[in-house]
Structure 1
Amino acid sequence: MTPSRTRRVVIAPDSFKGSATAQEAASAIADGWRSVRADDDLVLAPQADGGEGTLDALEASNPGSFRRSAGPVTGPDGRAVPGEWLELADGTAVVEMAQMAGLPLMQTLDALGATARGLGEVIRAAIDSGARRLLIGIGGSASTDAGLPMLDAIGDRIPPPDGALVLTDVTAPLLGPRGAAAVFGPQKGASARDVAALEERLRRAAVRLGGDPDEPGAGAAGGVGFALSTWGATLTSGAAFIAEATHLSTLMDGCDVLLTGEGRFDHQSLTGKVVGSILSAARERSITAGAIVGAAAEPPPCWHVALADLAGSAQAAIADPRRWLIEAGRAAASGLGTVDQDPRSGRTPTVVA
């Protein structure tokens, strides 16, 4: 039997929220792959989409960057939490909403009471420190407050000289059945009655602030995307920005297999998040693609494995994520490691539909 040739494998997951950072996930997946195919060339490229892990991804790809403290700021449930931002060598300040106002920081879900004020306090501190530019990741939020408390905290400050870029993880508008309250409110603990109240809150904010509530990403972070847009910031895809900043496109050149992943795959995963963006890039390049997920509400459109299935339950997977990420890496190596992409072979690569 002819041995399979050496593969170049790029491992580019998002974080598995609440259980493993993107770097930890990439490392564990790589360990599992190597246990099956030790000679393959593995490239680790942890990703983010503006949510949890954005600071980590940009810090790793920007030598000379360092963390700066904003001191205690208002957490999403009103308790004080440490605030920080990442200062890049060119004077850019990177702020990650999940760091100080993320959903996991809530002791108890409170869709109506959660606040984004802490994000504004960190932005204010970064501007006051002399930041030349702002990158603001707003994924993973706990609040649906239209960003009004955030704007109050920013006060009369304007975007810095080189502008403010908002990294969004969704393309949702502010209002309506695809908007911030209807789609994301239930994830933050909102009942049907709460969703209606939140929708009205967002509608009033739209009237007060002006702007375009239909702009893609306006509904990100419970309306924070909309509020920052009216403040003068520009909204953009966080996944695409991080991919470019970490040189993912270059890493994909000559790649045989592209592996991505996240904690939970559902229909939102294909609307601006890391997994959807990477699978789209794989399709465009006809690269064999695979997804390793914590759990799947619906099957990803490619080869995939869920940690919950390997471990027997989501709880078991969360309790020992490294173990099951290693097992998933082994499964990926067995399932994808010998797929031949050479069109002359007559075999079809595993790509997204």
Structure 2
Amino acid sequence: MTKKVVLAIDSFKGSASSIDIAAAVQEGIETVVPEVDFTTIPIADGGEGTVDAIVIARKGEYHTSQVKGPLGDPVDAKYGMIDGDIAIIEMSAASGITLVPKEKLNPLKASTFGTGQLVLDAIDNGAREIYMGIGGSATNDGGMGLACAWGVRFLDEDGQELPPAAESLGRLARIDASQMDERIKSVKFTILCDVNNPLCGPQGASYIFGGQKGANEEMKAQLDGYLHHYADCLLRDLGADVLEVPGAGAAGGLGAGMMAFAKAHKKSGIEAVMELIQLDEHLKGADLVITGEGRMDNQTAFGKAPIGVALAAQAYNIPVIAVVGGVALETETVYEKGISLVLDIINEPMQLEYAMEQVIPLAAGAGRSIGRIMKLAAIS
């Protein structure tokens, strides 16, 4: 009897997509166990690959819009639509750190304006509900740029409009949302995010994430002060109290901006993605589930894609193998969450750069190992 294997592997970030890794693993298994019924379900946790995972699983469509990148340069940003009126957006497509050369990273000047433009384009195309993954940002503007794109005015003490950038928040005297695009109020927004950092303070957006965006210690303190002042203005002018809300500090405070201007709700990225791709339906009747990600450690147990998949499979008593690009020495926590075996694709000592270049043949090798495990366990 032909057995069913579900492939639900997260992308190996910076190396290979979810689809490419799954195809390589499948090819490897088939060389050892040819008679297998495969179902490939791209998976993501709200970060890179979320749009592709949901669009592919739900047979949606892609849209591309030219928007302003983090430093104002034009970029072509892609998003997805499913069911005609649900948009899936990754803020990194418009305001992501990968859009800025490392030597030009500057969170004082980077803006989420392009993400706001992308939202408007989705609404123009009929979106009435928007899911937004807010990882991988180059920004620390609290969503000021996003709001400016929607028509919100940020004014200094002289009533002059401030340009959309974090450095402007230090001169902010008043927020005028009276001209914000009215359609925003009729759209349901959900933030896909597993970060619970508040907007400000030692665990806030600037101190925890500012360094990777180019901020030194002095700039982190400056940015934190600006965001604290911004939060005071949001509370006074909009009645939005976002300072201590978990997740408000995600994506340089974009979480706070989405909550304040769009009444957005935060949801676990992997939980939302699994619901949208209807993972449970694909798991029914499966004999084995293969998941994975680029690097697995004990942090994987807290909201990452492989654990979401493993917990879903556990409900059907399906064994789960995780194929990973790298694995920490201590991974007991992930086994406690339902993963049966962690299989590292690295089969000999090698440099990281080489491993990333050879990720597809290495993943196929892991697939061959799984095929042999299947034969040994009489799964095939």
- Is TM-score (shorter-chain normalized) higher than 0.5? yes
Distance 1:213 1:163 in 2: 22
Find the aligned partners of 2:49 and 2:355 in 1 and give their Cα distance.
Answer: 20
* Mapping 1:154-173, distance limit 5 Å: 154-155=150-151, 156-158=180-182, 159=184, 161-173=186-198
- 2:366 aligned with 1:328, yes or no? yes
Residue correspondences, number: 335
- 1:112-137 CA distance string (max 9 Å, x none): 24332211111122234443222222
Select the residue among 26, 32, 55 that pairs with 1:36: 32
Q: Distance in 2 between matches of 1:339 and 1:200?
A: 59
What corresponds to 1:275 in structure 2?
Answer: 306
Q: Given the alignment of the two structures, is residue 318 of structure 1 paired with residue 356 of structure 2, yes or no?
A: yes
Q: Is residue 139 from structure 1 mapped to residue 139 from structure 2 by the alignment?
A: no
Contact 2:293/2:325 (<8 A) preserved? yes
Please list, as runs of the form range in 1=range in 2, the aligned pairs for 1:236-247 lying within 5 A after superposition: 236-247=267-278
Structure 1 residues 41, 66: CA separation in 2 closer, same or farther (over 3 Å shift)? closer
Counterpart residue number, 2:264: 233
- Say if 2:58 is the partner of 1:69: no
- Cα contact 2:42–2:56 (8 A) shared by 1: no
**Does the aligned pair in 2 maintain the 1:77–1:107 contact within 8 Å?**
no
In 2, the alpha carbon distance for the partners of 1:259 and 1:287 equals: 10
Distance 1:215 1:8, change over 3 A: farther
TM-aligned CA deviation for residue 54 of structure 1: 1.9
> Aligned with 1:255: secondary structure?
coil
Task: Find the aligned partners of 1:334 and 1:128 in 2 and give their Cα distance.
Answer: 51
Cross-structure match for 2:50: 54
CA contact (8 A) 1:134 1:160 kept: no
How far does residue 169 in structure 1 lie from its aligned partner after superposition? 4.2
Deviations 1:91-132 (A, max 9, x none): 223222122222222211625243322111111222344432
Deviates more, 1:234-243 or 1:256-265: 256-265
User: What is the letter of the counterpart of residue 67 of structure 1?
Assistant: Y
Q: Compared with structure 1, are the counterparts of its residues 92 and 262 closer, same or farther at alpha carbon in structure 2 (3 Å cutoff)?
A: same
Q: Distance in 1 between matches of 2:131 and 2:312?
A: 24
Question: Relative to structure 1, is the Cα distance of residues 296 and 211 closer, same or farther in structure 2, using a 3 angstrom cutoff?
Answer: farther
Residues 337 and 154 of structure 1: CA distance in aligned 2, closer, same or farther (over 3 Å): farther
2:5 corresponds in structure 1 to 9
Q: TM-score normalised to the size of structure 1? A: 0.83
Residue type matched to 1:290 in 2?
I
- Alignment CA distance shift 1:142-1:37 (3 Å): farther
Structure with max Cα Rg: 2
Cα distance in 2 for residues equivalent to 1:172 and 1:33: 41
Q: Which residue of 1 aligns with 2:169?
A: none
State the alpha-carbon separation in 2 of the partners of residues 26 and 145 from structure 1.
37
Cα deviation for residue 27 of structure 1 reads 1.2
145-154 or 273-282: bigger deviation: 273-282
Deviates more, 1:126-135 or 1:45-54: 126-135
* Structure 2 segments unaligned to the other structure (5+ residues): 152-179, 235-239, 336-340
1:345 corresponds to which residue?
A: none
Q: State the alpha-carbon separation in 1 of the partners of residues 215 and 329 from structure 2.
A: 23
Query: How far apart, CA to CA, are the structure 1 residues paired with 2:327 and 2:316?
Result: 25
Q: Equivalent residue for 1:349?
A: none
SS of 2:186 mapped into structure 1: coil
178 and 270 in structure 1: CA distance in 2 versus 1, 3 angstrom threshold: farther
Please tell me whether the aligned partners of residues 294 and 314 of structure 1 are also in contact (alpha carbons under 8 angstroms).
no
User: Do the aligned partners of 1:83 and 1:99 also contact (CA within 8 Å) in 2?
Assistant: yes
Counterpart-to-counterpart distance in 2, 1:181 and 1:332 = 43
- Is the CA contact (8 Å cut-off) linking 2:64 and 2:79 kept in structure 1? yes
Q: Where do residues 81-230 of structure 1 align in structure 2 (5 Å cutoff)? A: 81-108=75-102, 110=105, 112=107, 113-155=109-151, 156-158=180-182, 159=184, 161-209=186-234, 210-230=240-260
Alpha-carbon distance between aligned partners in 1 of 2:118 and 2:133, rounded to the nearest angstrom: 12
State the distance in 1 between where 2:364 and 2:20 align: 11
User: Partners in 2 of 1:22 and 1:188 — Cα distance?
Assistant: 26
The residue type paired with residue 102 of structure 2 is T
TM-score w.r.t. the length of structure 2 is 0.77
> Aligned Cα RMSD in Å?
2.8
Distance 1:267 1:147 in 2: 31
Structure 1 spans left out of the alignment, 5+ residues? 342-353
Q: In structure 2, what is the equivalent of residue 79 of structure 1? A: 73
**Contact 1:52 / 1:99 at 8 angstroms: preserved in 2?**
no
